[in-house]
Amino acid sequence: MKEESLWYIFINASLINNFVLAYFLGICPFLGVSGKMETATKMGGAVTFVMLISSMCAYGIHALLVVLEAPYLQLISFIVVIAATVQLVEMFIKKMSLALFRALGIFLPLITTNCAILAVALFQTNKGYGFIESFVYALGAGAGFTLALVLMAGLREELELAAVPSVVKGTALTLLIAGILSLSFMGFAGLGS
């Protein structure tokens, strides 16, 4: 297998193996916060930020746990770091913009339980990425998550105006669109190889 270039890692994480549409990670916020374009963009930004910080911390923690020979602590320490980062972002957003804080609502603390973030930390460790590679990987994953969220929000804003049978409305419709988006993202499969 050839050495993965940074550019390939980015494209891989954001398009080819999009975290939402190919790995099914971070589905809860994807279904929950994708109703409005503005909230979707900000949510994507917040998630990307938490991903970057936690990915850097995860790299350090992994190195430390290897030295300590305590791999069984990996999961627990990762989740603690993520929870702490989310708390930080929450305070930051509350100070910066109260309106945004209200719009994100319950989904802000729930970033802690966004599987995409923990998955970035776990995948980069499994793949044995270095510090720079991990950073790019997290950036790509965040970009991919934001892209999926924004695409979905755009589609759902349009669908508000469409005549949809009442039985299909809600989660079922969102899942159908997600399926079609997922199909179209498969078109990226050959990219970069």
User: What are the residues binding another protein (CB under 8 A)?
Assistant: 21-28, 31, 72, 75-76, 79-80, 83, 109-110, 112-115, 118-119, 122-123, 126, 166-168, 170-173, 175-176, 178-180, 182-183, 186
CA dihedral 98, 108, 27, 127 (to 10 degrees): 120
CB of 3 to another protein, least distance (A): 23
CB of 80 to another protein, least distance (A): 7
Nearer to another protein by C-beta: 7 or 73? 73
Residue with tokens 């305070």: 91
CB of 6 to another protein, least distance (A): 22
Nearer to another protein by C-beta: 52 or 86? 86
CB of 119 to another protein, least distance (A): 6
CB of 76 to another protein, least distance (A): 5
Nearer to another protein by C-beta: 41 or 77? 77
Helix-then-strand count for the chain, H and E: 8, 0
Instruction: Give one word for 35, left, alpha or beta, with left for phi > 0 and alpha for psi -120 to 50.
Output: alpha
Nearer to another protein by C-beta: 37 or 181? 181
d(CA 87, CA 115): 17
CA dihedral 50, 56, 59, 65 (to 10 degrees): -70
Residue with tokens 């995860």: 58
Nearer to another protein by C-beta: 154 or 170? 170
d(CA 34, CA 30): 6
